[in-house]
Amino acid sequence: MHAAKAAGFSWCPFLRLKRRELKAILESMEMAERYKPFQVAKRKVMEKYGLLGSRADRLATALLYKMYRLQGVLDDVVAEVLGVEVRRLPAYLRQSYRLAAYLALYDTGRDSRLAEQLLDYAARVAAARFSDSEAERVEKLYRVLRGGKWSPSRDVEVELRLLLPPVIVKRLFKLLGSMDEVERFASAVNNPNPIYGLRVNTLKTDMEEVLKALEEIGVEAWPSRRVSGHIRYRGGLPYERFQPLREGKVVPQDESSAAAAPLLSPRPGARVADLCAAPGGKTTHIAELQRNRGNIIALELYGDRISRLVDLARRTGTYASINPVIGDALRASTLVRRADSVLLDPPCSSTGAIARHPEARWRLTERVLRQLAARQYRMLKEAVALLPSGGRLLYTVCSVMPEEGEYLISRALEELPVSLVPLHGPYDASPLLPGTMRAWPHRHGTTGFFYALLERR
Ligand SMILES: C[S@@+](CC[C@H](N)C(=O)[O-])C[C@H]1O[C@@H](n2cnc3c(N)ncnc32)[C@H](O)[C@@H]1O
């Protein structure tokens, strides 16, 4: 029996999906598994079926967002119920299993009727393309979970509650000190309506003008209490209708990201190296703080990303201060002669930015974390080599992993010729390494960030 029938649903005729819609949604899911970002893969499929903007398109978007946010926990549930390792399955089956688990555990709303037709259809296709037993397993999974005949292990129970994998929960507990606070972190990053930010480009405008423009288009916005020249807002900002954005008068940037450049106190005329610079939010901020009398070397590994930085620099009127260079921060000491100060904002686990990247949390493993931290440390060594004595280096990551923050800086303090310059706000001192600082989603309503300011001895 198919899952939908097993659940005893009777379809409302208005809520029936057509065969073409069912096909397009499932194909979007399969494509989203193969091509990143999933939004682009889905769009291509919807275009092919002539369904862009249709209800099928909206349903596929909603399902993909939800399933990506829950991906790891859905896979662990399937493993516990059926003993199947979802990540090893062909793309189509992988999505069918996740869909069945998602629908059974979470989807109870109006659209669930549409989604269950989808599951029914998914099982039929699984039977045709793979085997009857695959289809039966998809259905069994749905039945067991829907019927409440399964109780999760402790780890999976925590995952289901927090929507975070153990690799992250363990570290959060170390940093935050209580499960209560870890839960507050989880509900902040799983909140679908986070606070966004705009940095006011004071080379072109002021806070008042931008707040007025936001009010005129009905966006609820207010000045940040922690970071000067920063605006916070909730809800969607219609980018195409918001003139100050197109004119480079504002830059979309989270508050905690905009808090970074001022910590480096870049003086006009100083030579600054920004080693992982694109898309340039912090580079252009440094230029602004130097009143556009800077000499900033903006290093970035990827050409397409440096183009984004150049666009932003042009838009914000800071291009004259910025020298974009395509190059590897791991070889910075051979590419950059010297710098009075350095910003290092390297690629990281993005665990502080979970709210923005719904699936990133499930890709993180102990091994990936070790590799990231090893590369960050090598970049840090290169960054220190560029500095004269007394020169300062700001290290930042949007991560809540101490391996990418406190542990890495502790090691640098032991092995490299640097001392810590204690930071006193605008966010909280790290309990694991006093003098360094952390911004938190649940305490400060912004992306989680780690900051350390170092001075070359
Ligand atoms: C966290 S982002 C930087 C964000 C940027 N600082 C900002 O505020 O807009 C890290 C950047 O480093 C780049 N990157 C990755 N590996 C690199 C390398 N080996 N050398 C230089 N840049 C690298 C990535 O492509 C990415 O653009």
Structure confidence by residue, pLDDT tens digits, 118-163: 888 888 888 998 889 988 999 899 989 988 888 999 989 999 999 9
**For residue 22, pLDDT beyond 50:** yes
Q: Could you tell me the distance, in angstroms and rounded to a whole number, from the CA of residue 93 to the centre of ligand 1?
A: 35
Verify whether ligand 1 is closer than 6 Å to residue 335 (CB atom).
no
Q: Are 385 and 371 contained in the same domain?
A: yes
**For residue 32, pLDDT beyond 60:** yes
Verify whether ligand 1 is closer than 6 Å to residue 347 (CB atom).
yes
- The pLDDT confidence band at residue 5, using thresholds 50, 70 and 90, is very low
**For residue 8, pLDDT beyond 90:** no
Task: Report the mean per-residue pLDDT for the chain.
Answer: 91
The mean pLDDT value for 296-305 works out to 97
CA distance 46 to 60: 9
Q: Are 264 and 329 contained in the same domain?
A: yes
Q: Could you tell me the distance, in angstroms and rounded to a whole number, from the CA of residue 345 to the centre of ligand 1?
A: 7
Is residue 126 in some structural domain?
yes
Is residue 174 in some structural domain?
no
Is residue 168 in some structural domain?
no
Specify the CATH number for the domain of residue 200. Answer: 3.30.70.1170
The residues annotated with a catalytic role in the active site are 398
The mean pLDDT value for 74-91 works out to 91
Under a CB-based contact definition with an 8 Å cutoff, are residues 217 and 242 in contact? Answer: yes
The mean pLDDT value for 341-368 works out to 91
Q: Are 128 and 212 contained in the same domain?
A: no
Residues above pLDDT 90, as percent of the chain: 69
The mean pLDDT value for 244-253 works out to 96
Q: Are 274 and 244 contained in the same domain?
A: no
Verify whether ligand 1 is closer than 6 Å to residue 326 (CB atom).
no
Q: Are 308 and 415 contained in the same domain?
A: yes
Under a CB-based contact definition with an 8 Å cutoff, are residues 277 and 309 in contact? Answer: yes
Residue among 300, 315, 322, 450 to mutate when testing ligand 1 (max atoms within 8 A of CB): 300
Is residue 190 in some structural domain?
no
What predicted TM-score, i.e. pTM, was given to this entire model?
0.87
Verify whether ligand 1 is closer than 6 Å to residue 35 (CB atom).
no
Residue among 274, 276, 350, 372 to mutate when testing ligand 1 (max atoms within 8 A of CB): 276
Atom of ligand 1 nearest to the CA of 329: 20
Q: Are 212 and 96 contained in the same domain?
A: no
pLDDT higher at 223 or 91: 223
Q: Which of 40-44, 59-63, 393-397 is predicted least confidently?
A: 59-63
Q: Whose CA is nearest to atom 11 of ligand 1?
A: 276
Verify whether ligand 1 is closer than 6 Å to residue 397 (CB atom).
no
Q: Whose CA is nearest to atom 6 of ligand 1?
A: 277
Q: Are 151 and 34 contained in the same domain?
A: yes
Q: Are 112 and 210 contained in the same domain?
A: no
Burial level of 334, CB count in 10 A (0-12/13-18/19+)? exposed
Q: What is the DSSP letter of 238?
A: -
Structural domain span for residue 243: 195-252
Q: How much is the pLDDT for 12?
A: 42
Q: How much is the pLDDT for 346?
A: 98
- The pLDDT confidence band at residue 108, using thresholds 50, 70 and 90, is low
Is residue 180 in some structural domain?
no
Q: Could you tell me the distance, in angstroms and rounded to a whole number, from the CA of residue 300 to the centre of ligand 1?
A: 6
Q: Are 122 and 137 contained in the same domain?
A: yes
Q: How many domains does the chain have?
A: 3
Verify whether ligand 1 is closer than 6 Å to residue 307 (CB atom).
no
Calculate the CA 291 to chain-centre distance. Answer: 31
Under a CB-based contact definition with an 8 Å cutoff, are residues 46 and 28 in contact? Answer: yes
Verify whether ligand 1 is closer than 6 Å to residue 378 (CB atom).
no
**For residue 14, pLDDT beyond 60:** no
Is residue 63 in some structural domain?
yes
Q: Whose CA is nearest to atom 2 of ligand 1?
A: 347
Helices (H) and strands (E) counted in the chain, each on its own, are: 21, 13
Q: Are 304 and 369 contained in the same domain?
A: yes
Atom of ligand 1 nearest to the CA of 274: 6
The mean pLDDT value for 169-176 works out to 97
**For residue 282, pLDDT beyond 90:** yes
The mean pLDDT value for 380-393 works out to 98
**For residue 331, pLDDT beyond 60:** yes
Q: How much is the pLDDT for 342?
A: 98
Q: Are 59 and 24 contained in the same domain?
A: yes
- Residue by residue, DSSP assigns 308-342 as HHHHHHHHHT-GGGEEEEE--GGGHHHH----SEE
Atom of ligand 1 nearest to the CA of 332: 20
**For residue 408, pLDDT beyond 90:** yes
pLDDT higher at 85 or 4: 85
Q: Are 281 and 419 contained in the same domain?
A: yes
Q: Measuring CA to CA, which residue among 295, 288, 194, 290 is closest to residue 250?
A: 288
Q: Could you tell me the distance, in angstroms and rounded to a whole number, from the CA of residue 347 to the centre of ligand 1?
A: 6
Q: Could you tell me the distance, in angstroms and rounded to a whole number, from the CA of residue 295 to the centre of ligand 1?
A: 19
